[in-house]
Amino acid sequence: MFNGRIIHNLNSAFRFRVSKAQGPYIWDDQGKKLIDFTSGWNVTNLGWNNPEVTDAIIAQAKKNTYVPMWTHDPIQEKYADYLASKLPKKLDVFSRETGGVNANVMAIKAARAFTGKKKIVGFSDTFHGSLYSVLEIGYKPEYLLSKSLFLSYQDYVQLKFPGVKSHDKNKESVLKKFINELEKVLQKKDVAAVVCEAGIVTGWGTTDVAPVGFLKSVRDLTRKYDALLILDEVGTGFSRCGKLFGLELENVVPDFVTFAKGMSNGALPIGTMATAKEIAESVYAKSQPQSTFGWNPVAVAAALKTLEIHNRDKVWRKAEKDGYYVMETLRNNLSNNSLVDDINGIGMEIGIQLKLDGKKISTKKIIDSVYEKGLHVCKSSETGIQLMPPLTIERKALDHGLEILVDTLNSFA
Ligand SMILES: Cc1ncc(COP(=O)(O)O)c(C=O)c1O
């Protein structure tokens, strides 16, 4: 857990010192070059240290590096206008945050203030950030701490995420059952908001995929029962799932959408909660949307350039195409592999579900082994590997990474 004085995240199996990172590659401090299939967990979608983003940062740093929260820098206005032009019309104002957890907390605070209700519906085994107020949404008791330390567990309703495997034949009935469960909860009319991702769980380390229709059903039911919808796009945003934003997958318009991670391509901390002006106006007095460092002008310059590149290069199209390619390649080459249960995902957010019962092999061992051969991947759970390559990765590097993965899995089977 510790590396010297640094407290590390335990999830992703191992840690190392990064000495250099460029495009789809990172180098450890032994000079080992690794093909990266993580993007730092959906962050460096345009490749590590994207040179255009770096140039934009330098240019803005020479102009102005800070504005206090009661003022704003013109680049913030420019970015807000540009981001609004890429989102559904209703999502037209933005809070200035430093990351994903803040954006989600802000959305929950605003949803409660707007509706006058307290309950938040979410899904077990999901992740929306590491502050109490959102950790509780997806909290699984065995993950950490003790349940008694949580503040307001009774205000959170956890439903099971209706994740299905790629080969499941009963997708329709899973969706139907889920709709019934959600409707039962919402019928009580004491729910302020439902918090979810766009049909896939990217956050806590799973790539469960919901049947098509999930997001639209959640939107329809929240509308029917006067609850709000908070769509967490911290992981799915910025072309990761084959669309610029995950909300386009089912053309829904949530009441809040939150972004961070890929927003500045990891160059500087930034996040936002987008909502309707009507909601923001009515809750502002009650919900105090403020952050001293939120939307630092230099971070905004990185975000502006990032969004310009996504838009200019239509990065989501390549993500969609490459995502199919990765899943097909893995499915074709691992179809007889006794360790592999399923390969599933949306766009370039892809999971390999392993079946390790009674086997001597562990996910960590597989990940360590591919690292030795020059590939960096994340462990998503005790039986899962999560693949999130930079979306700009060229085919040769992608193929080489896939070859390492396939060979390793086949050698252990
Ligand atoms: C889906 C999702 N939401 C929210 C967060 C929290 O973002 P941050 O780490 O910027 O607070 C994460 C982080 O992994 C995430 O994956």
Residue keyed to tokens 């769980």:
201
**pLDDT at site 132:** 77
Ligand 1 centroid vs 148 CA: distance in angstroms? 24
| Residue 179 identity | I
Q: What whole-number distance in Å separates Cα of residue 8 and Cα of residue 163?
A: 29
**pLDDT at site 147:** 58
**pLDDT at site 203:** 87
Ligand 1 centroid vs 48 CA: distance in angstroms? 19
* Structural domain spans, the chain: 2-50+316-412, 53-313
CB distance 22 to 390 below 8 Å: no
Please name the residue whose Cα sits nearest to atom 14 of ligand 1.
Answer: 203
Query: Which phi and psi angles does 306 have, rounded to 5°?
Result: -60, -50
**pLDDT at site 202:** 96
Atom of ligand 1 lying closest to residue 236 CA: 1
Pocket (CB within 6 angstroms of ligand 1): 41, 99-101, 104, 127-129, 197, 202-203, 232, 234-235, 260
Ligand 1 centroid vs 129 CA: distance in angstroms? 5
Ligand 1 centroid vs 54 CA: distance in angstroms? 23
Radius of gyration of the chain (CA): 21
3-state secondary structure (DSSP) of residue 36: strand
Please name the residue whose Cα sits nearest to atom 4 of ligand 1.
Answer: 128
Query: Which phi and psi angles does 237 have, rounded to 5°?
Result: -70, 165
Please name the residue whose Cα sits nearest to atom 7 of ligand 1.
Answer: 100
Atom of ligand 1 lying closest to residue 233 CA: 1
10-residue block means of pLDDT along the chain (413 residues)? 67 74 96 97 98 98 96 96 98 97 95 94 92 79 58 80 95 98 97 98 89 98 98 98 98 98 98 96 78 96 98 98 98 97 98 94 94 95 95 98 98 95
pTM of the complete model beyond 0.85: yes
The 10 Å CB-count burial string (b at 16+, else e) for 391-400 is: bbbeeebbee
Query: Which CATH architecture does the domain made up of 2-50+316-412 adopt?
Result: Alpha-Beta Complex (3.90)
Query: Which CATH architecture does the domain made up of 53-313 adopt?
Result: 3-Layer(aba) Sandwich (3.40)
Ligand 1 centroid vs 62 CA: distance in angstroms? 30
**pLDDT at site 205:** 78
- Residue 211: DSSP 8-state: P
**pLDDT at site 133:** 77
Ligand 1 centroid vs 203 CA: distance in angstroms? 6
Q: What whole-number distance in Å separates Cα of residue 155 and Cα of residue 297?
A: 36
